[in-house]
Amino acid sequence: MKTWYLAAAAAIAFAPAAASAQTVYNTSLQNVNGVFGTSTATTTTDSAGTRTVVTGPGPNSGANRAQGTPVLNQWFQANVGAGSTVGITTDYARSGNGSAYFSQTQNDTGKADLQYYFGGAPIALSSLSSFSFDHYRDAASTNNAIQSMVLRLDILKDGVFAGALIYEPYYTTNGNEPVNTWTTSSGNLTTGNWWTNNSLLGPTNATAGGTKSLADWISGNAGSTLSVYGVEIGFGSGWQGNFFGAVDNVSVQFGNAGGLSSNFEVAATAGVPEPATWAMMIMGFGLMGYSMRRRRATLVIA
């Protein structure tokens, strides 16, 4: 757990999220550029959105993954491995013109997340009232067919960093991820199966007894307080083959404590007008010219 988070959060009052989805535009993402270990990150923005592309030989470890600057109350790029891309683009539009885009083209070096840290005090996991997110897997993906985008809750146990609780659709559906279609995963404290990547909470990596509801994780840590300080969406690591997918409409609600509801979109950009727009402009200029000539003629006659 980074000390910057606790210090920054203490200085910001937590404000409950609005009930309606908040639009997150591609232009709000950071320009993550430069060298991260053996990897190099480049961020570009155009009419199709914003993408952070990471190149390099790997290996797939934290020191070689591109990372945005951690901020509160804002999505940012994180843990982007070699051969991976993350951004907000128009590739797989959902509930508007965009969604959060993810891909890997370099086998097991691939990994990428978008991360969000709540401002203010961490929120009790027991107050969670609902979660949901839309996810998409392109049929062009060649990795294991059960693998899909995941939702993670960043957890503190009695104020100590305790990794994440991870919702991976397969462990609830026990089936392959549908392709070329949007799927919604949703639930509450007592529905769905989550696993952890930190033994402080219990069995890790979906081993025996390691997939259970959030309520079961809470009861399995009886006597301790589990709280949520952030949310992540992403994929990997260690996936074999290529992957192309997306996430949209991320919602994590904590009753009266507020929560998060994000719809990812691409902001309009100033560019060259479309042909139809040019035609309307030319027609408008013509009418303006005709009007001015007629006015001058009227003034002369008078």
User: 119-149 burial by CB neighbour count: b if 16+ within 10 A, else e?
Assistant: bbebbebebbeebbbbbbbeeebebeeebbb
- 2 has a pLDDT exceeding 90: no
Q: Which of 9-18, 106-115, 128-137 has the highest mean pLDDT?
A: 128-137
Mean pLDDT for 180-207 is 95
CB 165 within 8 A of CB 154: no
Give yes or no for residue 179 having a pLDDT over 90: yes
Q: Is the peptide bond before 59 cis (omega within 30 degrees of 0)?
A: yes
Structure confidence by residue, pLDDT tens digits, 279-289: 444 444 444 45
Q: Indicate the pTM of the whole model.
A: 0.85
Cβ within 8 Å of residue 252, ≥6 positions away: 128, 130, 131, 151, 153, 228, 231, 259, 260
pLDDT surpasses 80 at 297: no
Mean predicted confidence (pLDDT) in 195-204: 95
Residue 6 clears pLDDT 80, i.e. is over it = no
> Which pair of tokens denotes residue 13?
């009052």
Banded pLDDT at 39 (limits 50, 70, 90): very high
Q: Is the pLDDT of residue 5 over 60?
A: no
Contact 234, 99 (CB under 8 A): no
Query: pLDDT of 216-252, one tens digit each?
Result: 999 999 999 999 999 999 998 889 999 999 999 999 9
296: pLDDT strictly greater than 50 = no
Residue 157: pLDDT over 80: yes
Residues 103, 35: Cα–Cα separation, whole Å: 20
Distance CA 294, CA 302 (A): 12
Mean pLDDT of 98-112: 94
pLDDT of 298 over the 70 cut: no
Percent share of the chain, pLDDT over 70: 82
Is residue 126 a contact partner of residue 214, using CB atoms and an 8 Å limit? no
Average pLDDT along the chain: 87
Return the structure tokens found at 101.
Answer: 């885009």
